[in-house]
Amino acid sequence: MSGDRTRRFNRLAELRQRELDKEAAALARARAKEQDARAKLEEAEARAKEAVLARETLSKGPASASDWAAQEAWLAAQRKKAQRASDQRLECAREVEAARESVVKMRVRVRGLETLVERVEADEREAQAQADRRLEDEIAGQVVLSGPSSR
């Protein structure tokens, strides 16, 4: 019966390991998403810098009001895109942290279950060893009680 208990614990450990693998895959996806968001942020910040430089260039020479308005609108749009990209990257970073915490929790659960399985197996081995010693003691007691055998 204790073998059944060990098998059940082993099955549970396998299930926990699969869950850990799923959580690790989710973490990998979150990290990839964060990298993509980081690249988009860098691109948006570069465009915003281009817009600032273009405005500075425009301000140094003669420009019409419509050119100036268009340049300001473009600059505002680029800054807004950069802000959205920054917000998205921060959200991705939070997702990565949540996924990392989930993986750590799942690892703790897997390790705990593995430790439990090891303890149960050790207890079973000890119980079997005690049963073997009892049997040896009974056999030894019977040999002593029967006395030396004469042939």
- The domains located in the chain, with CATH, are 2-138 (1.10.287)
81 three-class SS: helix
In the predicted model, residues of the chain with pLDDT beneath 70 are 1-2, 147-151
In this prediction, residue 39 carries a pLDDT of 96
Nearest CA-CA partner of 95 in 150, 151, 23: 23
Which residue bears the tokens 């082993």? 10
* Cα R_g (the chain), whole angstroms: 35
Q: What is the pLDDT of residue 67?
A: 84
User: Which residues make Cβ contacts (< 8 Å) with residue 114, sequence separation at least 6?
Assistant: 13
Q: What predicted TM-score, i.e. pTM, was given to this entire model?
A: 0.70
pLDDT of 140 reads 85
- Quick one: pLDDT at residue 2? 61
Query: Which pLDDT value is given to residue 151?
Result: 47
Q: Residue 55: its pLDDT value, please?
A: 86
- The tokens describing 46, both together, are 């570069």
- Tell me which amino acid residue 106 is: M
